[in-house]
Amino acid sequence: MRAVVRISAVVFLLLGLLTLSPSVGSAREVAESEAQVVQRLLPGVVNIFTRKVGESSDTMASGSPDKQVGALKRYYGSGFIIDPDGLILTNRHVIEGARQLIVGFSDGTRALGSVLAASDQCDLALIKVTANHKLTTLTLGDSDKLRVGDPVLAIGNPWGIGTSVSAGIVSGLHRDIKDTSYDDFIQTDAAINHGNSGGPLVNEAGEVIGVNSALYSDISNGGSIGLGFALTSNNAKFVVGRLLRFGRIKAGWIGVMLQDMTPLLSGIFGQPNLTGAVVTAVTPGSPAEKAGLTEGDVIQRIGTATPTDARDAMRQIAMVTVGDPAHLSVWRNGATLTMDVIADEIPGAQSAPNFAPQLNQFVAGGLQLSPISDKDRRMFNLSSEQTGVLVSGVANDVFTGEQTLMPGDLILRVQETAVQTPDDVHRAMEAAWAKGHALVALLVKSKDEQHWIPLRISSMKAPH
């Protein structure tokens, strides 16, 4: 087999030499076109940096954490701007459990972000940032137009090294990776690594046709092996609309379990070429039972949509507004019936926990500081000799835009003054404020690094 590959390569090389002049020009035009598309998109793509209590890595492309058990660890992901006033779309797993969230833009500036809403049934979330100018946005395209083989670009922040672009094709459509009952993923061989989560998958026109969300990887290296998955842009449009309107998806539910209708089952049911989804169970007291649906019914149409399989049918039902009828066309015992099933919300969804963490709101203002306790030393992996003042909370109004403090950081000095207690920090701040300084430089230790961070001091509050 290897010999065949080598021979083929020689043949193609000879053909390329015979047609060198025309092919070079066209290839160059394509490359320039792709470069122009990327340059137009980059201002709308963001890098996301969070700190979370340590958790184990999985197949999701959410970023590789520092290897400190039980400590607050740095994670990174990606996102893209969908509204010029600072609305950013990303994956829920990028922000879930974050104690602080920083958004990095293509021009090198950063801003604190807060979670506006996060879905409880789909791996998507909305972040809000405040900027002093209109931001560049990306456009969500029509993922239904995708074909296997279409070229795509993945943009994101792999391994936290900065915004990167990888190219590939659509390898498959409607993939089920067993994440939810509604799975509808685009598979691509464009390199998607840890940190790409939440970034855009774009087509040749520069439209976002997917949100990079997951990868399958060799456990030994955790990197891309050409099996990346993105949530479709059309599903993202639906989720964003519901999150902005309700703060959650508020998916329609009728109370059925469904199974793909296969050619074999179709023949057994006595009606060749049946398509759709067959009902396998009906929840007692559900809208489906009230409307008369029963096991063995084959749902062939939902409104104007023709579901291709059970997951597609579940997605179409979920998109029905709660309280509105789902107009069903059902095959039963050789006849086609029509029925209206009033959609309800999934039981328990109203009281489901809010996935959006309350970032940057757990402190009244300024910094929340504390001495280093034995528990802190274990959590943050600090030696018994380490001195300084622990940062346990940070408010938005002390952020300067260059760098920021995060929970778990240690303040070692306030300019020339070494500090051991929160009172030391506040006294040094007050002294600088008395001299008319609005900013002060802190020497901060973050993990194994030390750096100076400029900090606004006008909002600092004395400890009680």
Residues assigned a catalytic role: 93, 123, 197
Name the CA dihedral angle for 332, 334, 336, 340, rounded to a multiple of 10 degrees.
-10
What are the tokens at 1? 């087999």
Of 25, 89, 66, 62, whose CA–CA distance to 406 is shortest? 66
Three-class DSSP category at 47:
strand
> Facing residues of 231 across strands?
185, 211
Sequential DSSP letters for 199-242: -EEE-TTS-EEEEEEEE---TTT-S--S-EEEEEHHHHHHHHHH
How far from chain centre, in Å, is Cα 188? 17
Of 43, 41, 27, 23, whose CA–CA distance to 152 is shortest? 41
DSSP structure class, residue 308? S
User: Distance between CA atoms of 349 and 346, rounded to whole angstroms?
Assistant: 5
What are the tokens at 77? 């992901």
User: Distance between CA atoms of 23 and 16, rounded to whole angstroms?
Assistant: 8
**How many Cβ atoms are within 10 Å of 192's Cβ, its own excluded?**
30
Q: Hey, CA dihedral for 301, 306, 309, 314, is it positive or negative?
A: negative
**End-to-end Cα distance, the chain:** 76
